Amino acid sequence: MNTNLQTPIDYLKGVGPNRADLLRKELGIHTYQDLINLFPNRYIDRTQYYKINQLQRNNADVQVIGRVTSFKEIAQKRGKRLVATFQDDTGVMELVWFRGQKWIRDSIKPNTTYVIFGKTNWFNGTFSMPHPEMELLEEHEKNLRSAMQPIYPSTEKLSNKGITNRVISKIMQNLFLETKGRFLETLSENLLSELKLLSKSEALFNVHFPKNQELLSRAQFRLKFEELFYIQLQLILKNLIHKSKIKGFPFEKVGDYFNTFFKEHLPFELTNAQKRVLKEIRADLGSNAQMNRLLQGDVGSGKTIVALMSMLIALDNGFQACLMAPTEILSVQHYNGLLEFCNKLNISIKLLTGSSNTSERKEIHENLENGNLQILIGTHALLEDKVKFKNLGLAIIDEQHRFGVEQRSKLWRKGPEASSDNERATTPTPPHILVMTATPIPRTLAMSVYGDLDISVIDELPPGRQSIKTVHRYDKNRLRVFQFIRDEIKKGRQVYVVYPLIQESEKMDYKDLMDGYESISRDFPMPEYQISIVHGKMKPADKDYEMQRFAKGETQIMVATTVIEVGVNVPNASVMVIESAERFGLSQLHQLRGRVGRGAEQSYCILMTSHKLSNDSKLRLETMTRTSDGFEIAEVDLKLRGPGDIMGTQQSGVLNLKIADIVKDKDILQSTRFYAKRILNSDPTLGLPEHKVLLHTYRQLSKYKNMWNYIS
């Protein structure tokens, strides 16, 4: 191939410095390569030519062949509009321009045959076409043109500066002429023939200048496959390299701590899912590689017990363990939950958070370094440089999407120094890492975002847990809902009432919350009822005080904004009322619902909404009332919100996809993962002659940063 695709875009015919500057700023197009990867987002079928008497009143894009016979200018409120009479052998229509009249009038040749293209309007018995695209028929026939017209992504600024879709199509044609449409193949012969894929050159040509629908579909499939294939290749390679290069401590035995706990103190029979996950974790810990595992399980599926048992294996092998949670409330809850088990097993465990005082800290630091302290639970405070372990063997991170990459790498460096014979090599061996999340991640996302982590899923709830009854009620049913709450409180239960909190309109939200609080206070008067209130404007100490009152059962109703979303455990609370439920996202609704149903009693979630609901809101509410399966909910959420939102902004790098869409193309994604795994299993270094092209492409992608380095 004679043209280097890394050539700056400025050098392409028809671009020049000003246009190049705009393309860089607006669409991120720096090189020929970037331009080739600017894929159309839709196509207009231009195989059809209409006669004027065939036009329909449907506002569709059409093309007509005819000639301009006359012009007139018509005054209007602001300025004037230019109207041309356009005719063919079946009738007459009008072309209209609201700006650029002089230039248009000078450039159009009357009584010459043109092809016009645009949307038609029907007015006063005549069709008209505002601002048509016009091309002389002889030019139109000469162009490198496809039957389907591609419509490229654009911005307002580009259109205003005259870089229209037509200009971009023209530049794209120039690029194909300059490269003679020849592009290096990036997939191996085996893949091309086994999957009957178009070659790279054919695919690129047919995605930019498709001759028909079928070739377009084949071209898109080939390019989507390639894009997702290299992402999978990178993630799986990363995982393989990780396993072969990054040594972990082999935990060779399962000893007294684990066995005593299992036989004497396990509070309930483990579910099959918990047993399976423990087995996966034990296999990782016993191998020579560092464990890097993601543990997913819905609220209440028993992840904490799995975490504890994994820590016991570390202790049995003479190592320390730590568990890091994103908030103080959550870390206190983990600590309290594990404390009684540790006391029974005679294990030293401590809690370190931002509010630990100086003397506590000093004692923790000393006992960590001399090895007397075996398990440390805490918040970000664990990452401070002063916190040094004697031999940290396992680090567990809860709700990891709240921690950044740098924070995780700090944990890595807290492993003990691995001394070798010559005493020089003192690189710390990293602790095994187990990441836990109660936010179910749809399979598609898990494959593309956490593809380099091994994934374990706890997909069944412990026995005795009843599923939560979820109903949708409109505001007009409020009195019946209040009566239901009274009945539940009579049985000795407690109730949450949650209001949405949307940052932009804090004043309005605060007002909603206060109005709600007042109406509840009227319907549930003191002294018979006690109500707690918690919202974002309160001081942390006041929030904690109110939360504690509710947790101790001193108040029956907790009115709150979504601050209660993470980690409050009140087994006696059996009703969750979510006000203006249409203003919450699915994952938030699911998380909030998980706050009840923690005791043995039947629990309820009541979604209150107004009558005006968008289709998306209806789908969210219908999904919540139909299923409590977090993974199914996550899949619907992914379809509704798209991947970027679900991962949170810090991980949106994941979705720099040029043509594939991991929601719509999940079948292709699964297929690429299968082929990438198969190839790497037989040839982990891509050293075989038939994989030469894969290795070369992989290196090029890494070199030109078109490979998105996933967060891991």
Q: List, for residues 679-704, the tens digit of each pLDDT value.
A: 999 999 999 999 999 999 998 887 76
Nearest Cα residue to 31 out of 58, 54, 71, 3? 3
Tokens of 364: 């923790």
Tokens of 86: 């356009």
More confident residue, 201 or 542: 201
Task: Evaluate the omega torsion of the peptide bond into residue 431 and state whether it is cis, within 30 degrees of 0.
Answer: no
pLDDT computed for residue 704 by the predictor: 61
**Structure confidence by residue, pLDDT tens digits, 255-298:** 999 999 999 998 888 999 999 999 999 999 998 888 989 898 87
- Measured distance CA(246)–CA(269) in Å, rounded: 35
Q: Domain 469-627, CATH 3.30.200.20 — does that match? A: no
**Structure confidence by residue, pLDDT tens digits, 305-361:** 999 999 999 999 999 999 998 888 788 888 988 999 999 999 999 999 888 889 999
More confident residue, 30 or 248: 30
In this prediction, what percent of the chain has a pLDDT beyond 90?
46
Q: Domain 256-458, CATH 3.65.10.10 — does that match? A: no
Q: In the 8-state DSSP scheme, what is residue 9?
A: G
User: Would 256-458 and 469-627 be classified into the same CATH topology?
Assistant: yes
pLDDT computed for residue 19 by the predictor: 92
pLDDT computed for residue 642 by the predictor: 66
pLDDT computed for residue 56 by the predictor: 82
Q: Helix axis angle, 303-316 relative to 328-345, nearest 10°?
A: 50
Q: Which long-range contacts (CB under 8 A, 24 or more apart) does 704-708 make?
A: 704/6, 704/33, 706/33, 707/230, 707/231, 707/234, 708/231, 708/653, 708/654, 708/656
Residues 1-9: what's their mean pLDDT?
78
**Structure confidence by residue, pLDDT tens digits, 402-421:** 555 566 667 777 877 644 44
Inter-CA distances, 240 with 164, 231, 680, Å? 47, 14, 9
- Measured distance CA(648)–CA(633) in Å, rounded: 17
Mean pLDDT over each residue of the chain, to the nearest integer: 85
- Measured distance CA(455)–CA(395) in Å, rounded: 16
Would the pLDDT of 538 be above 90? Answer: no
Each residue of 540-556: b (16+ CB within 10 Å) or e?
eeebeebbeebbeeebb
The angle formed by the CA atoms of residues 208, 214 and 219, to the nearest 5 degrees, is 45
- Measured distance CA(312)–CA(411) in Å, rounded: 19
Would the pLDDT of 462 be above 90? Answer: no
pLDDT computed for residue 502 by the predictor: 53
Q: How confident is the model at residue 707 (pLDDT cuts 50, 70, 90)?
A: very low
3 state DSSP class of 397: strand
Inter-CA distances, 11 with 175, 649, 706, Å? 10, 35, 21
Look at strands 557-560 and 604-609 and give their pairing: unpaired
Domain residue spans of the chain: 47-144, 256-458, 469-627
Would the pLDDT of 507 be above 70? Answer: no
pLDDT computed for residue 400 by the predictor: 62
- Measured distance CA(584)–CA(567) in Å, rounded: 18
Q: Domain 47-144, CATH 1.10.240.10 — does that match? A: no
pLDDT computed for residue 121 by the predictor: 87
**Structure confidence by residue, pLDDT tens digits, 593-651:** 888 887 778 999 999 998 888 888 999 999 999 988 887 888 888 778 765 554 443 34
Inter-CA distances, 697 with 65, 187, 214, 226, Å? 46, 8, 27, 11
Rounding to the nearest 10 degrees, give the CA dihedral for residues 506, 507, 513, 514: 150
The single residue listed with the structure tokens 């994994």 is: 310
E strands present in 492-628:
494-498, 531-534, 557-560, 573-578, 604-609
Nearest Cα residue to 604 out of 580, 576, 579, 583? 576
More confident residue, 15 or 632: 15
